[in-house]
Amino acid sequence: MQGNTATAMAGRKITVLNPMGYPPKVTGKPMAPRLGSLDGKTIYLVDARFDDSDKFLKQMQAWFAEHMPGVKTVFKQMSSVYTEDDPATWEEIKANGDAAIIGVGH
């Protein structure tokens, strides 16, 4: 039976596809310029809702309060999970903040 199948397939062409595909072209963006100082600035600590990032950011907020009291920190949770965009949060930070630290957990 196997010989008959091989004979029937002789001369036929098959197409084989590579499952790896092609990665999309990625265009890099420059980082935002550094602030000269954090004194008197408002820093948003954004919880992206990824594995305990809220705990880490609250520790960071306590560190700022103890070591850099001239810096105002705002803890902000994203409205959804980290895989979903949150335009309202980004607009709030642009309007009211000088910088943002986005926590992604451990």
C-alpha to C-alpha distance for 51 and 47, rounded to whole angstroms: 10
Q: Identity (one letter) of the amino acid at 35? A: L
pLDDT above 60: residue 2: no
Residues 6+ apart with CB under 8 A from 48: 78, 81, 82, 102, 103, 104, 105
Residue 53 lies in a domain: yes
Residue 39 lies in a domain: no
Residue 66 lies in a domain: yes
What DSSP state is assigned to residue 50? S
Residue 62 lies in a domain: yes
| Each residue's pLDDT tens digit, 12-34 | 888 888 888 788 899 999 988 89
Total domains in the fold of the chain: 1
> What's phi and psi for 86, nearest 5 deg?
-135, 75
Does the global pTM surpass 0.85?
Answer: no
Residue 17 lies in a domain: no
Chain centroid offset of residue 2 CA: 53
Range of the domain at 61: 46-79+91-106
| Each residue's pLDDT tens digit, 49-63 | 888 889 999 999 999
